[in-house]
């Protein structure tokens, strides 16, 4: 049976190198096998999000099609792949999830996040960028009509006005890192 830490199964009982069952958990940050010396670190994963908004302060959101937080709103984004910069990941995620090739992304902020998936807790550093609304669209609602959702990830699209803290609190956001980011965005203006 797997030992549960904070209700999640972030623990290993067998060394993946030698098969020893003496692997030691060091604070859920690192596992060490005293038999072969193998170290496994539980490092933070990098993820990205892209805030696209119109001149009326409406922001594009995806409605998540899968867990965690299925049915909640998130900005386009996802995990950074191997050998990929955060900027490249942000552009790729927009292409994959909404069917749009954004030309350029600009750093907005970063925030820690917890991503629970299949009873495993992943700690992430979410890196947020902004991208311009393509010039042929006046509003986010017009833009939404042109989007092609990656069905395994995105159930649909929504736009929400983001001008105040009250506006942000009304959005059914999937992740606290997005809430932090939207607050940061309006505080910079």
Q: Give me the pLDDT at residue 161, please.
A: 98
Helix ranges (DSSP H) in the chain: 86-98, 140-146, 165-170, 176-187
For the chain, the structural domain boundaries read 11-42, 45-187
The CATH code belonging to domain 45-187 is 3.90.79.10
Residue 183 CA to residue 55 CA, distance in Å, equals: 17
pLDDT along the chain (189 residues), means of 10: 46 87 87 93 94 97 96 98 98 97 96 87 94 95 96 97 98 98 93
Q: Give me the pLDDT at residue 40, please.
A: 87
Q: Give me the pLDDT at residue 41, please.
A: 87
Q: Give me the pLDDT at residue 26, please.
A: 87
Q: Give me the pLDDT at residue 9, please.
A: 58
Q: Give me the pLDDT at residue 10, please.
A: 63
Q: Give me the pLDDT at residue 8, please.
A: 47
């Amino acid at each position: 049976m797997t030992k549960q830490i904070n209700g999640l199964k972030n623990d290993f009982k067998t060394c993946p190198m030698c098969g020893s069952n003496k692997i030691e958990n060091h604070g859920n940050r690192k596992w060490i096998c005293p038999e072969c010396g193998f170290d496994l670190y539980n490092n933070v994963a990098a993820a990205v999000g892209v805030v696209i908004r119109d001149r009326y302060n409406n922001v594009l959101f995806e409605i998540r099609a899968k867990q965690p937080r299925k049915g909640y709103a998130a900005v386009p984004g996802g995990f950074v792949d191997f050998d990929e910069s955060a900027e490249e990941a942000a552009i790729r995620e927009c292409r994959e999830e909404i069917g749009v090739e954004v030309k350029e992304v600009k750093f907005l902020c970063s925030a820690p996040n917890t991503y629970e998936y299949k009873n495993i807790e992943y700690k992430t550093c979410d890196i947020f960028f902004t991208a311009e609304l393509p010039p042929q669209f006046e509003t986010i609602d017009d833009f939404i009509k042109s989007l092609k959702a990656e069905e395994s990830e995105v159930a649909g699209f929504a736009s929400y006005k983001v001008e105040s803290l009250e506006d942000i609190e009304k959005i059914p956001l999937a992740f606290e890192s997005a809430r932090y980011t939207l607050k940061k965005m309006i505080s910079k203006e």
